[in-house]
Structure 1
Amino acid sequence: MTLYQLGVFALLAGLSVSYSLSARHVERLRRGFTGGKAHNLLDVWTIAGALLLPVPLVVPLVLVCYAAEWPSRKSVSGGRPMRYVITVAIVAAAASTASAVHRQVGGPLGILAAVLSWVVINSALIAAVVWLFDDRRVIRQLLGPRNQVADSITKVTGVAVAVLASWRPAATLVVLPIVLAGHRLALWDSIRTTAAYDSDAGMWAEPGWRVQATESIATAPGFVALVLIDPERPHSEVSIARCLTGVLRPTDPVGRYGTRQVAALIQVDMAAVGVIVAERVRARLDRAGIVCVVGVSISLGEGLDELLIRAGSDLMARRESAGISARW
């Protein structure tokens, strides 16, 4: 190990950690929309490491990259720690093999041989694990065109990082905003392919709203208020969304809930502010001529399901006290 190699290791590790921290919010949403089935972009840094570093430094780099990404991964289904450990082990094996091959062959041909060896080792080990322990239909998904294109782009970017680092290590810094921009594009692609957002209605579909609301609760610095709107007569969702636009912030997730309800999740400084926001929502809907009942729950530290249950209970109590049928 040379001082230069240690410097490259520190550079790639720093870029990877910076990327994972900067992309955490986007990554949680992307994984939430896709149920955790999302291609990660960590190969940008690990491929570069395999082409620039000896094996004793490649494995620690892989560990650093995946450790920094773990907080984003565990936000969906707890991250499945055992599966994550297996993934890290497979990537470490593929990266180590690619590093050894590159050093044996050398030159541009060595880069191509290293990437191909990575793909072969990675694919073979993943296929074996899935075949033995998981749903075998996943193999078809992994071999699908979308996944292959995403994987190829990531690896080409990793090769570009290695070339830049060999030329001018500081030049690799320009890659970070590019990768983050690509990550955001991947988020919008996930939203589009899962139909998580209804642009015509101007609100999230229920699964998309749940992902946004869960993330908003997790990042809230204080209280959150959940407002549940149940219209008495069929109304255009567009009308309800427009009413809420004047009361809520653009970042407050608004979406469908159940068969006809609309839900909104608002971050507030104090519980009293949540009550005020709910009253403003009621007043705004009333002025718009939308006859409805609005339930609210305000809490600090509770999960989304608990908030929904209490908002639903409040809504039903208000319907009953107003002499309205409590049946949906």
Structure 2
Amino acid sequence: MTVHHLGLFVLLAALSVTYSLTARHLERLRRGLTEGKVHNLLDVWTMAGALLLPGVLVVPLVLISYGAEWPSRKYVNGGRPVRYVISVLIVAAAAWVATAVRQNVTGVLGIAAAVLCWTAINSVLIAALVWRFDDRSLVRQLLGLPNQVADTLTKVTGVALALLVGWHPLSGVVVLPLVLAGHRLALRYSIRTTSAYDTTARMWSEAGWRVRATESIATAPGCVALVLIDPEQAHSEVAIAECLLGVLRPSDPVGRYGTRQVAALVQVDMEAVGIIVTERVRGRLDRAGIACVVGVSISVGEGLGELLIRAGSDLMARRQSAGISARW
């Protein structure tokens, strides 16, 4: 291990951490929509490390990369920390073996052998654990062509990064925006395949809205107001969305909820502002001639589940006081 190796280690670790922090919002949404069943892009940095660094530095690089990704990973089902730790250890072992292969086999053959060894070790061990402790049908997905293609492309990008950094260390920085662009494309693919966003109604599906709303609650500097709209007639989402455009910010998540309801979550400075926003929503809907009842829940520190329960209770109470059937 030399000072040059330490410099490369710091560079790759910095790129990996920067990537995870920058892409955290994209990654949370992508994992939330797919229930976490997506391939990550961390092998770009760890594969490059396996080709450039000695084994004693590759394992810490893997740990740093996956540690920086954990806040995004734990967003779905709590991240399943035990499984995550096991996965990280398997990746570290695969990276260490790939490094040993690369150090003993030179040239293009050594690079190819390192990639193949890494892929084989990682796939076999993960598949064995899934077969033993999880849903065995996932093994086919894990070893399927789409997943293998995504895994290979990520590692090929890591090889390209290693070649760039080998030519000039600072040139590796140009890969960061390319990986982030690839991540955004992957998110768009997930949104399309899960039908998470309706461009006509400009609304998220309920699953997509829940992910966006949960993150909005987590990042809110103050209160949040959850507005729940229950129209008397179904299929009026487009008209409701038009009304909300004049009141809410583009960043405020709006989506379908339940059978016909529309939900919106708004970050506000204080409870009074949330009440004002809700009244503006009611006014816009009334002027548009949309017969509906609007419930609201305003608080700070509560989770999405609690907000939905309180907003639903407020909506039901308003329906009853208006003499409207309480049945949804």
Matched, 1:257 2:253: no
**CA distance in 2 between partners of 1:292 and 1:236 (Å):** 10
Counterpart of 1:97? Answer: 97
**CA distance in 2 between partners of 1:32 and 1:233 (Å):** 30
Change (3 A) 1:118 1:234: closer
Counterpart of 1:303? Answer: 303
Counterpart of 1:80? Answer: 80
- Secondary structure of residue in 2 paired with 1:326: coil
Counterpart of 2:294? Answer: 294
Following superposition, the deviation at residue 64 of structure 1 comes to 0.6
**CA distance in 1 between partners of 2:144 and 2:287 (Å):** 52
Contact residue 235 and residue 290 of structure 1 kept, 8 A: no
Counterpart of 2:125? Answer: 125
Percent identity, aligned pairs only, is 76
**CA distance in 1 between partners of 2:209 and 2:325 (Å):** 27
Contact residue 123 and residue 143 of structure 2 kept, 8 A: no
Counterpart of 2:41? Answer: 41
Structure 1 segment 128-147 matched on structure 2, within 5 A: 128-147=128-147
**CA distance in 2 between partners of 1:103 and 1:276 (Å):** 66
Counterpart of 1:241? Answer: 241
Contact residue 44 and residue 161 of structure 1 kept, 8 A: yes
**CA distance in 2 between partners of 1:242 and 1:264 (Å):** 13
**CA distance in 1 between partners of 2:154 and 2:298 (Å):** 43
Q: Normalising to structure 2: TM-score of the pair?
A: 0.98
Following superposition, the deviation at residue 129 of structure 1 comes to 1.1
Counterpart of 1:316? Answer: 316
Write the letter of the residue equivalent to 2:121. Answer: I
Structure 1 segment 161-240 matched on structure 2, within 5 A: 161-240=161-240
- Secondary structure of residue in 1 paired with 2:266: strand
Write the letter of the residue equivalent to 1:262. Answer: V
**CA distance in 2 between partners of 1:235 and 1:284 (Å):** 18
Contact residue 28 and residue 72 of structure 2 kept, 8 A: yes
**CA distance in 2 between partners of 1:34 and 1:172 (Å):** 30
- Secondary structure of residue in 2 paired with 1:37: coil
Counterpart of 1:109? Answer: 109
Write the letter of the residue equivalent to 2:134. Answer: D
- Secondary structure of residue in 2 paired with 1:38: coil
**CA distance in 2 between partners of 1:312 and 1:325 (Å):** 14
- Secondary structure of residue in 2 paired with 1:40: coil
Following superposition, the deviation at residue 181 of structure 1 comes to 1.0
Counterpart of 2:279? Answer: 279
Following superposition, the deviation at residue 326 of structure 1 comes to 1.6
Following superposition, the deviation at residue 201 of structure 1 comes to 2.1
**CA distance in 1 between partners of 2:72 and 2:34 (Å):** 13
Write the letter of the residue equivalent to 1:25. Answer: H
Contact residue 295 and residue 314 of structure 2 kept, 8 A: yes
Following superposition, the deviation at residue 130 of structure 1 comes to 1.3
Following superposition, the deviation at residue 109 of structure 1 comes to 1.2
Following superposition, the deviation at residue 36 of structure 1 comes to 1.1
- Secondary structure of residue in 2 paired with 1:280: helix
**CA distance in 1 between partners of 2:183 and 2:234 (Å):** 39
Contact residue 45 and residue 158 of structure 2 kept, 8 A: yes
- For the aligned residues, what is the CA RMSD? 1.0
Gaps of 5+ in 2: none
Q: Normalising to structure 1: TM-score of the pair?
A: 0.98
**CA distance in 2 between partners of 1:81 and 1:144 (Å):** 25
- Secondary structure of residue in 2 paired with 1:224: strand
Contact residue 214 and residue 303 of structure 2 kept, 8 A: yes
Relative to structure 2, which stretch is displaced further, 278-287 or 20-29? 20-29
Contact residue 51 and residue 111 of structure 2 kept, 8 A: yes
Counterpart of 1:13? Answer: 13
**CA distance in 2 between partners of 1:204 and 1:194 (Å):** 11
**CA distance in 2 between partners of 1:235 and 1:127 (Å):** 44
Aligned length: 328
- Secondary structure of residue in 2 paired with 1:290: coil
**CA distance in 2 between partners of 1:97 and 1:234 (Å):** 58
Change (3 A) 1:289 1:126: same
**CA distance in 2 between partners of 1:235 and 1:22 (Å):** 37
Counterpart of 1:57? Answer: 57
Counterpart of 1:156? Answer: 156
Contact residue 297 and residue 311 of structure 1 kept, 8 A: yes
**CA distance in 1 between partners of 2:256 and 2:69 (Å):** 31
Q: Which digits, 9 at most, give the CA deviation of each residue in 1:122-170, with x for residues without a partner? A: 1111121112111111111012222122111101100011001110000
